[in-house]
Amino acid sequence: MDEKLTHLDEQGRANMVDVGDKPDSDRIAVAAGSVFMQPETLRLIREGQMKKGDVLTVARLAGIMGAKRTAELIPLCHPLPMTKINVDIILDENQNAAHITAQVRTVGKTGVEMEALTAVSVAALTIYDMAKAVDREMRIGDIRLMEKRGGVHGDYVRSEPDHAG
């Protein structure tokens, strides 16, 4: 791995990357993650019986909102005009999990990987928040970039198989 860290200047100080000279291109990123829980918690979510309301709808909306606010949360991220944000949640009874996938798209000078990862993270945290009264043992994990398209570094697709969902 010969590439240098782009968020460090010559003196090793953190800085925001200058993307001003980069061409605009169509960019897409997909991230995924999971919330593992007790079978009863999964049942309550599936049946819409959580006291706080419709967990899946609220988590999807939270994920979208999280993606839109990534630049406010991650210090060196550029604010981006996103053209599409999709958050999908699949309940998996075999793993007692909610598997979250976020796809984010923009036309711009820098990618949307952080926005997709933030969408998954915020959706997972929202599921935890809405269900913690019945299951404090929930575990959030396996948050990862699945693919990215566009930009000067080219496309990336995760080489290992996705076992979650």
The number of angstroms, rounded, from the C-alpha of 18 to the middle of its chain's C-alpha atoms is 24
Q: What is the DSSP letter of 8?
A: B
Is 54 catalytic? The answer is no
Rounded to the nearest 10 degrees, what angle do helices 55-68 and 113-131 cross at?
Answer: 150
What contacts 158, CB < 8 A, 6 or more positions away? 144, 145, 146, 147
Catalytic annotation, pick one of 24, 129, 135, 162 = 129
Q: Tokens 């839109």 correspond to what residue? A: 68
Burial class (CB in 10 A: 0-12, 13-18, 19+), 47: exposed
Instruction: In whole angstroms, give the CA distance from residue 23 to residue 21.
Output: 7
Other Cβ atoms less than 10 A from the Cβ of 149: the count is: 17
Tell me the backbone φ, ψ of residue 53, rounded to 5 degrees. Answer: 120, -160
Catalytic residues: 129
